[in-house]
Amino acid sequence: MTNRFSRRNLMGVPAAELGAFLASLGEPPYRAKQLQHWICRRLAASFEDMSDLPKGLRTQLQSLAYLADPVVLDVHRASDGTAKYALQLEDGLVVEAVAMPMEGHTTLCLSSQAGCAVGCRFCVTGALGSGRNLRAHEIFGQFRVLMREEGLVGKGVNVVFMGMGEPLLNLSHLVEALNFLSETVSLRRITLSTAGVVPKLYALAKLPRRPNLAVSLNATTDEKRAYLMPGVARWSLAELIGALKAYPLEAGRRITIEYVLISGINDSLWDARRLVQLLLGLRVKVNLIPLNPDPRFLPGLVPPSESVINAFAAHLAAANLNVTVRWSKGLEVAAACGQLRGQLRVQAPSPPAP
């Protein structure tokens, strides 16, 4: 008797490969479109859910293939409705993803890596160190699971890659995942957040279709940025700003500049003035994010007072920058920006008994 570990995973398989697989079973070409529709748009959890496929084909698929969605290990739900999911991958690694109810829609925050090598001092994921890249089906699988668990199938959502990991260090798998996501979510509703991996920004710029871009800046001098974000210190602020100036933007789009405010480190009016100068000539909007503290992993780091935050924002606004203070959601369940950590590994699933 076959088991899951001898069957083919059809998650993350391009339409042409699905067609070839189904052709080997004697099925007509249109079956591949039906199958992909169920996987990418209807987000079916099993072949049995695919009601317009013949019963015989569904039975055959169950014996020869499977759909490898991450397994929900735990869900923590905050009073504001934010839900943080711990999701186990097939090799036992656990990543976290978040569903955030917003006014009129839900935003899903997905992870691109299990861990992160950038090592930002204000980020719990970075404090835990590097892990592996997630494959395309593992990235897309987070979306599928959250959409089903939150009752969002068929509804409009926004997607942000602001979870665990640096997306541009996993660009090839991320692009594959975007191809699947874009069948359900417009790329204008998907945002990729990067710490500023300059060569990969130029590679991203060459793609024919791109998601929205957010850049985690957080400092206005090279020295301070190297201290806060050692994993991207090899590229100067001048190089990063140069890449952003060269980045193609469609009409109506702006680059989001994310700036985590940390008391006594990057929150002075001198920092605000330098930030204005750095961003001259760029089509940007600025999100100021008060640090989400974690005494266990981020000792000694605290957010500024509300008055300091407001003064910093007011200076940017006075310079005609589009600025928003982003007060985090899900803080009470450690689901806010910079707080995702997952677990390095739990026991991998055992093969089913024959």
CATH 3.20.20.70 intervals, the chain: 101-333
**Is 320 exposed, middle or buried, given 0-12, 13-18 or 19+ CB atoms closer than 10 A?**
exposed
Using CA atoms in the order 77, 78, 80, 85, what is the torsion angle rounded to 10 degrees?
Answer: -40
Task: Identify the DSSP state of 133.
Answer: B
Note the pTM of the prediction, 2 decimals: 0.88
Task: Indicate which residues carry an active-site annotation.
Answer: 96, 337
Q: How much is the pLDDT for 345?
A: 42
Instruction: Quote the radius of gyration of the chain (alpha carbons, Å).
Output: 22
Taking Cα atoms as reference points, which of 301, 289, 270 lies closest to residue 215? 289
Q: Cα separation of 57 and 267, whole Å?
A: 61
CATH topology of domain 101-333: TIM Barrel (3.20.20)
Q: How much is the pLDDT for 295?
A: 78
CA distances from 343 to 35, 137, 311 (A): 33, 20, 38
Taking Cα atoms as reference points, which of 188, 135, 180 lies closest to residue 159? 188
CA distances from 228 to 222, 224, 293 (A): 10, 6, 15
Q: How much is the pLDDT for 12?
A: 82
CATH 1.10.150.530 intervals, the chain: 4-66
CATH topology of domain 4-66: DNA polymerase; domain 1 (1.10.150)
Q: How much is the pLDDT for 328?
A: 55
Give φ, ψ of 148 to 5 degrees: -70, -45
Q: Cα separation of 25 and 19, whole Å?
A: 10
Tell me which H or E stretch contains 180.
helix 171-181
Judged by phi (left if over 0) then psi (alpha if -120 to 50, else beta), residue 147 lies in alpha
Q: Which residues pair with 288 in a beta bridge?
A: 259, 325
Q: Cα separation of 178 and 156, whole Å?
A: 16
| Strand duo 83-88 + 94-102: pairing | antiparallel
Q: Cα separation of 247 and 257, whole Å?
A: 14
Tell me which H or E stretch contains 258.
strand 255-261
Task: Identify the DSSP state of 159.
Answer: E
Whether residue 82 contacts residue 72, with contact meaning beta carbons closer than 8 Å, is answered with no
Q: How much is the pLDDT for 176?
A: 95
Whether residue 192 contacts residue 161, with contact meaning beta carbons closer than 8 Å, is answered with yes
Going residue by residue through the chain, which has 354 residues, state the pLDDT in tens, using 9 for 90 and above: 344 557 889 988 888 899 999 999 999 999 999 999 999 999 999 999 999 999 999 999 999 999 999 999 999 998 889 999 999 999 999 999 999 998 889 999 999 999 888 989 888 777 777 779 999 999 999 999 999 999 999 999 999 999 999 999 999 999 999 999 999 999 999 999 999 999 999 999 999 999 999 999 999 999 999 999 999 999 999 999 999 999 999 999 999 999 999 999 999 999 999 999 999 999 999 999 999 887 776 788 899 999 999 999 999 999 999 999 987 543 343 334 443 444 444 344 443 333
CA atoms within 13 A of residue 152's CA, in its CB half-sphere:
21
